[in-house]
Amino acid sequence: MHRLADKFALITGGTSGIGLETARQFLAEGATVAITGRNADALARAAAALGDGVVCLRSDAGDMACQRALAQTLSALWPRLDVLLINAADVTHRPLEAWDEAGWDRLMATNLKGPFFLVQALLPLLHAQASVILCGSVSAHIGLPQSSPYAASKAALLSLSRTLSGELLARGIRVNSLSPGPTQTPALEKLGLDGEAYAALLAQIRQLVPLGRLGTPLELAKAAVYLACDESAFVVGSELIVDGGVSGL
């Protein structure tokens, strides 16, 4: 059964990890899928991995003009948008003393400002009964060292999910959040840490997971399919946490 048949779905940050696997699962469930990414080579690799059925669009999630351009492009391609998964994120982790204002602004633009203005730009295209999924993080619920700006941005995004739920519900648009725990993706290699600090942080992260392992992109993608499809029609303003027990045990 194709749970996303006849649905048009956009995934930001869809060139690797959770985004790429979710695009694969959305396609398998019958959706018409577009993904975004900043890097042309990464988009080309994703297109090769996903096949001809995916639309690949170059877009910077932290650039507000790109959000408006992306909405215009999709409006020209598709009659509506049924599913929006905002997955693109800056995952930089650094000690408090290593942050500067420019780095903070870049992270917040990608993780919070960009998502808000993308939803705004896409609003005319979002179909009644559309599903909007904002990708949060278990980091918003715990006190992981070196994650302060990242965790703060995700906590704000979770709040945005709840408030947009109330605002858009009258239009028939459901907004929910999907919060991964530690997941084995290429994003772990982009934390901005050197070798020893990176290894130490990974060891610390694994110790946090009651299940004793990191999650997989497929496990998160399956959760995204549920939030995207009609099976979750009674789910709104909620946070689905897929974290191996990090936040609850």
Domains of the chain by start residue, with CATH: 8-242 (3.40.50.720)
Nearest to 185 by CA among 137, 248, 249, 132: 137
This prediction's pTM? 0.94
β-bridge partners, 2: none
Q: Which residues pair with 8 in a beta bridge?
A: 32
**pLDDT in single tens digits along all 249 residues of the chain:** 799 999 999 999 999 999 999 999 999 999 999 999 999 999 999 999 999 889 999 999 999 999 999 999 999 999 999 999 999 999 999 999 999 999 999 999 999 999 999 999 999 999 999 999 999 999 999 998 889 999 999 999 999 999 999 999 999 999 999 999 999 887 766 666 677 877 777 787 788 899 988 899 999 999 999 999 999 999 999 999 999 999 998
H helices of 38-147, in order, are: 40-50, 64-77, 101-108, 114-122
**What is the C-alpha separation between 112 and 129, in angstroms, rounded?**
24
User: Is residue 226 flagged as an active site residue?
Assistant: no
Question: CB of 12 within 8 A of CB of 88?
Answer: yes
Catalytic residue among 22, 108, 150, 182: 150
Rounded Cα distance between 43 and 56, Å, is 6
Q: Is 26 helix (H, G, I), strand (E, B) or coil?
A: helix
Question: Cα(171)–Cα(177) distance, rounded to whole angstroms?
Answer: 18
